[in-house]
Amino acid sequence: MTKKRIFDIIQIGNKEDLPSRAFDYFISAVIILNILAMLLGTFDELSSLHGAFKVTEYVTIIIFSIEYVLRIWTSDILYPRKNKLSSVFRFLISFDGIIDLLTILPFFFLDGMVIFRMLRVVRIFHLFRINSQYDSFNLIKEVLIEKRKQLFSSLFLIIILVLASSLAMYGAEHDAQPEAFENAFSGIWWSVSTLLTVGYGDIYPVTVIGRIIAIFIAFLGVCAVAVPTGIISAGFVEKFSKSENSDRKYHDIHEVGEILCDRSSGFIGLTSDEINDNYGIRIYMIIRGELTIVPNDRLTIAENDILIVHSEKLMKKGNTNKKTGKKKK
């Protein structure tokens, strides 16, 4: 079995390839078994089964290790534009590479240290791989990436509100209940639970001015939660609009149209010249996030790019002037 064939099998999402799909289901089952064994092993009531849970962990970790080695071996196919050493390094620092390493490393070498035993929680992040190639998960990931600046801004606003409300409540409540509001930072727990509308009630104001401040902070908390929610909702609406406007067959583009480059487009990694040669489509402009790019012969198409195009085949057939509708002389 060649390296390319192994790479095709261990990659997720090839619905046309039966061995690849079987491997996806197999590794998903292994991930779930590993996490279940780790969780059930914490129950004292199941102490008689702890040996079976341990064996399950050993077997699944060995499978993860084999898969990790195979992914390192085939990393040059995953990153064809890099040399062997660079492609291995690129995989090792990728999300999947780090999660795989942190999953198996504590089990073999550092199981006795508490801080590294806590890294076993990282195994749960393997569940992302089960859904990582499906449209629903990709949509959420793309929205979060595209709206990251706005989300960071809203997070910064929440941090400011937390600090301000903590200081305000300390000034109002310290004299009345010094054990609850010992210093400015002791009110952060109250601020977070109030601003995020959790309201555990373990710390609460008892003075009149403190309760008045708490009322305003509670209202601000509703607004603070609504801001990132609105940003994400707007991102989903934009994504759905782009998908609806771009979901069309390439040969149906009669004048100027747009194409959303998803995984099924076949354009990712190609240059504008290669797309012109292979598909007869001329790219006039590339919209990449907030950037508008004029293509050149070295620029490759990335996932989620929006291409402003004209069908080259139709241009050759009609060569019409769009303003007049008449053929150019």
DSSP state of 203: S
Nearest alpha carbon to residue 172 among 188, 160, 184: 184
User: 3-132 falls under which CATH superfamily?
Assistant: Voltage-gated potassium channels. Chain C (1.20.120.350)
Choose the CATH number for 148-244 among 3.10.400.10, 3.30.565.10, 3.30.530.20, 1.10.287.70. Answer: 1.10.287.70
| CB contact at 8 A, 195 and 161 | yes
Domain 250-318 has CATH 3.30.70.920: no
Element (DSSP H or E) covering residue 68: helix 50-73
In the block, which residue shows the tokens 């801004």?
153
Q: What single letter denotes the amino acid at residue 124?
A: I
Instruction: Quote the pTM value.
Output: 0.50
Identify the band that residue 231 occupies on the pLDDT scale cut at 50, 70 and 90. confident
Question: What was the pLDDT predicted at 143?
Answer: 82
| CB contact at 8 A, 173 and 206 | yes
Backbone angles phi, psi at 76, to 5 degrees: -70, -20
Q: What is the average per-residue pLDDT within 21-28?
A: 82
Identify the band that residue 236 occupies on the pLDDT scale cut at 50, 70 and 90. confident
Cα gap 60→26, rounded to integer Å: 11
